[in-house]
Chain A
């Protein structure tokens, strides 16, 4: 199918307002008479609360109200999967982000000063910070159900047979860090009662309808009495999927009747919101002499911290993706995700695939090396095709683009010319050339799209045809930077045959937009896009019916609901998926063996997310995903010492800067059309980052002969590893 708007390098719909500073983000909102709200958070990572004294704080100048658990009218708990997170803690705190009181004051300064006056008497409890210890039934439980949140045990074939048939067996353990989303805009929002007595929360969440439901249950209000919006948000990456400020704001407004505003400081943000799950992984994999993958065995221990959030589904996706995009006859995966007092972890771009991919793609390289095979050829020879049985045994029923991405990567410049490129030292002073090593590494990956079996995954939208050809599309998903609104507009314009400028996306407000589901899981282009096309089909049916009757109508609207299809058989919450996106990354790294400094010099990304709707957005996602992958691999780690955060701002939590990300990024779309996708599209917002870390690790081994199994890899690690392996040339 030939497209005229879809696939074109169009401007983002929101770009003009963003370059002029006109866009209003949650932290920019304000309202006459609003209170500033500051949360009083736990002083200990694990403690019993003996008493909370708010008297002095409440009496402080400018303070209007100090709220504690007693002020929660409904259920004092929330959470995406389980309602296990207290809104306001009354008896126990489990991490430093737990909130014990909320101060509402006339100014931010007054609120902050009063927050320091809330006196909480704590009795510190034994800390649980070692996930291994959490597995021990003798360890005191952080939650009624014990310290194991969820476990998985899967097998396909017979793992011992698999290893018997293997000529090469590789076994390694991997350690992965806690990572912060570091969205540039911290959690923020504004709440107020509108003229109809509806409680409005203008905020930063990734799923407005779920936020509304949770607010309603905490306040004991009907959902219709609450309106939640989150149109433009300054980055999220999964970190705003859990409720952050929404309930706190709503509660303050509900109790005081006054508008309320909250903006987290960066320090508070890093302590309070979810993280990427830190995990330890063990992999044992085997391949036959002829280079056929025979067995993948993996064990995971994931640390969800103080609360469940999405710890269970994240572990499920780790298991689902443990064998990578490969055909493996014998698979065994076991995993646990446990509670500790180490902050809390939840959704983060990649959602378990990121972790699993580090393991399996490192193993793939180690096996290729042991077999003396070309690493991409080895992957290509074992890759999954449509109709094959996936790692956990179910059939890959939809389009599988893994092989084409590998094929394209093999033909790409970086890979083809890697011998020459690795030798290049022209940029280095001659005497330093011997100290510079370059390596090229690859990784392939797949990433489940949508929420998976067993989790409601629908998108409803409304398309309105207005006078003069204007088209409004009402969607419930949030524009968190990913560019989805532009993609929606392109698909709408394409299908209706109208200029892109005539399409307006009205977004993310429960007051005006239908429930399009969560802005997560690489799902929105696919799910919302399909819903838009369904709505347009309805409109056109009606239009032609009217045309047949000889009557015309200017204003016409249609709603449509699309349900993301799933596999038939459920293996767990959100497990498995029917649709996947695919990718192969090729990375050039340079190591300065004098200083240990690692730099990523060039990246090629071959990504299959079906048809590319918005090329600029596609490339932008890829480039940003690569930068995040570089951060995960080389720089970022939230450091905790006995449950206390050590690096809570950007002077010590190190993000890659412009000088740490290569300009030489080449993103190549591999458009394997997905029949069920809107115009053949799926999505790539996660797969574009998942493979980056293992590709860098593989490039590092290629450069200096050292296999790193712990992220992030810093200059210190390079120097230490070289000192410990004196035989390395």
Chain B
């Protein structure tokens, strides 16, 4: 018989988890769990996390990182000024999740726990060097997202642990970022493949510290060091973009499934990177032209 506990405080959840009751399911928004018809069939205890006070809120933590509570919804992330200013890439990625209805229910913690290879938030979190905070009776431990996600539906969360929050280091300076996704349609779709990128932008047209990550082209979200190496410290040109795109295609280990084909996925990650970088390139050209005009006017 299914029992539902809607708990208000983190320590209550942790207490139950440490009791190691079998067939306990943690749920926040439910947008990944409830569409599956058999999801609740074998569950005896469902813990509804959506009201847990400690899992709410977006703010800077003691170390100056952005802390996003695990039960914060995708739409709250999209709308939050701190995210828009300091982690715009995540805002972009979360805005492409499902529909607004789904974004109003689904949470960042749930997206992590579900560990879908196609999850939109994950490539962004990887690029932003985000860490997952896991709470347990032993306290809180931090794991980089890439270490937390182990495979489709598999994470490094221990049975008595709970995703408490996501922490994102704040980086200063001029940044560029994009999240691009190929779906089965434009509105509300699951990614056939996705690419996230962020980097520092310099006045001379160089990008530094680029981070590139891809979704739905491997068993987990993957970062693409080869593409990052191509982009790092180089003036962005269409030739550089082409080279980085090829590195993305090379890195994809895609499969065929009902949504798309392996070969298309391999192809399209390069295309998505090209699109995103070309827009950045055009943007930087535009800035440079404007700057030149200003300089001419001054002289």
Contact = CB atoms under 8 A, between A and B. Distances in A.
Nearest to B37: A267
A595 B258 contact: no
Nearest to B279: A429
A431 B272 CA distance: 14
B182 A651 contact: no
A507 B260 CA distance: 45
B271 interface: yes
B278 interface: yes
A671 to B, nearest CB: 35
Given A716-B261, A719-B264, A599 B279 contact: no
B21 interface: no
Contacts of A596: 264, 267-268, 271
A604 to B, nearest CB: 22
Interface in A215-245: none
Nearest to B273: A594
Interface residues of B, number: 27
B190 A431 contact: no
Contact of A716 (B238, B264, B278, B281): B264
Contacts of A720: 263-264
Interface in B250-291: 258-261, 263-264, 267-268, 271-272, 274-275, 278-279, 281-283
Contact of B184 (A431, A594, A595, A635): A635
Contacts of B264: 596, 715-716, 719-720
Interface in B206-254: 238
B259 to A, nearest CB: 8
B185 interface: yes
Interface in A634-673: 635, 639, 646-647, 651-652, 654, 656-660
A715 B185 CA distance: 10
A715 B182 contact: yes
Nearest to B260: A716
Interface in A698-720: 714-716, 719-720
B279 A432 contact: yes
Contacts, number: 65
B258 A647 contact: yes
A710 to B, nearest CB: 15
Nearest to B181: A595
Contact of A595 (B185, B268, B279): B268
A658 B188 CA distance: 10
B186 A599 contact: yes
A595 B272 contact: yes
A430 interface: yes
Contacts of B35: 651
Contacts of A658: 187
A388 interface: no
A660 B271 CA distance: 20
A75 interface: no
A597 interface: yes
A654 B185 contact: yes
B280 to A, nearest CB: 9
Nearest to B180: A595
B278 to A, nearest CB: 4
A594 B260 CA distance: 16
Contact of B282 (A431, A651, A652, A657): A431
A716 B193 CA distance: 12
Interface in A413-447: 429-432
Contact of A594 (B258, B263, B275): B275
B281 A431 contact: yes
A654 B259 CA distance: 10
Contacts of B187: 657-660
Nearest to A267: B37
B150 to A, nearest CB: 24
Contacts of B267: 596, 719
B37 to A, nearest CB: 8
A654 to B, nearest CB: 5
Contact of B258 (A597, A599, A639, A716): A639
Given A715-B264, A715-B268, A719-B264, A595 B275 contact: yes
A72 B136 CA distance: 61
Contacts of A635: 184-185
Contacts of A429: 278-279, 282-283
B211 to A, nearest CB: 22
A227 to B, nearest CB: 35
A438 B263 CA distance: 25
Contacts of B182: 595, 597, 715
Given A594-B271, A595-B272, A646-B258, A431 B185 contact: no
Given A429-B279, A715-B268, A716-B261, A594 B274 contact: yes
A429 B278 CA distance: 8
B282 A430 contact: yes
Interface in A544-600: 594-597, 599
Q: Across chains A and B, which 9 residue pairs bring their CB atoms closest together, nearest first?
A: A657-B187, A659-B187, A659-B186, A594-B271, A431-B278, A716-B264, A595-B271, A429-B282, A429-B279
Interface of B: 35, 182, 184-190, 238, 258-261, 263-264, 267-268, 271-272, 274-275, 278-279, 281-283
Given A646-B258, A715-B268, 4 more contacts: A594-B275, A651-B190, A659-B187, A716-B261
20 contacts: A429-B282, A431-B279, A431-B282, A432-B278, A432-B279, A594-B271, A594-B274, A595-B268, A595-B271, A596-B268, A599-B186, A647-B258, A654-B184, A657-B186, A657-B187, A659-B185, A715-B182, A715-B264, A716-B260, A720-B264
Interface of A: 429-432, 594-597, 599, 635, 639, 646-647, 651-652, 654, 656-660, 714-716, 719-720
